[in-house]
Structure 1
Amino acid sequence: MTSSQKDQVLQELRSQIALANAQELMQKMSEKCFKKCIYKPGTQLDNSEQKCLAMCMDRYMDAWNTVSRTYNARLSREHSSGGLQ
């Protein structure tokens, strides 16, 4: 396998992993926010449910982004220091 082919395979794997992570994020966020905000499921969301869902999803995404940034920074530090500690 050529270097170009290896790079292409790695890029495809990264894309698949990113997609799987996004799907998992959406699934967990939907489950947790639904449990937190929807008390009486019906055909429509009332204003308080809509506001609760919006706030819940914003907080969940903020937390996810904070964890992701921190994890990536740690991986970068470990990589630059020569490996896992």
Structure 2
Amino acid sequence: MDSLGQLTGSQKDELMDQLKQQIAVANAQELITKMTEKCFKKCITKPGSSLDSSEQKCIAMCMDRYMDSWNLVSRVYGNRIQRERQRL
């Protein structure tokens, strides 16, 4: 940790940008993993070599709802963080 104090301002900014990118990638991976697990469990009753039309429709709708929910929660959480920062 002592080496962080030796970084210049631009190096710290670059490090923060890299961390933000890694967090964004991790969040996207988590979203895809959870969405896949939940929608598969909900929509695929008997796995086979292909999806029938009702399974395809269920998967599409499930993914849309999951993404909408994820976006809503993310937006509300972001707004809450902003409010908390403004209070400080």
TM-score greater than 0.5 by the shorter chain: yes
How far did residue 28 of structure 1 move?
A: 0.3
Flag structure 1 segments of 5+ consecutive residues without an equivalent: none
TM-score between the two structures when normalised by the length of structure 2: 0.92
Does residue 39 of structure 1 match 2:18?
no
Which of the residues 46, 53, 62 maps onto 2:68? 62
Size of the aligned set, in residue pairs, is 82
* Matches of 2:16 and 2:84, distance apart in 1: 21
**Identity, % of aligned positions:** 65
Task: Give CA deviations for 1:11-43 in whole Å, capped at 9, x if unaligned.
Answer: 000000000000000000000000000001000
Aligned twin of 2:35 = 29
Which of the residues 73, 76, 80 maps onto 2:79? 73
Flag structure 2 segments of 5+ consecutive residues without an equivalent: 1-6
* Matches of 1:16 and 1:32, distance apart in 2: 24
Does residue 6 of structure 1 match 2:12?
yes
* Matches of 1:25 and 1:73, distance apart in 2: 20
Structure having the higher Rg: 2
* Matches of 1:68 and 1:37, distance apart in 2: 25
* Matches of 1:74 and 1:24, distance apart in 2: 21
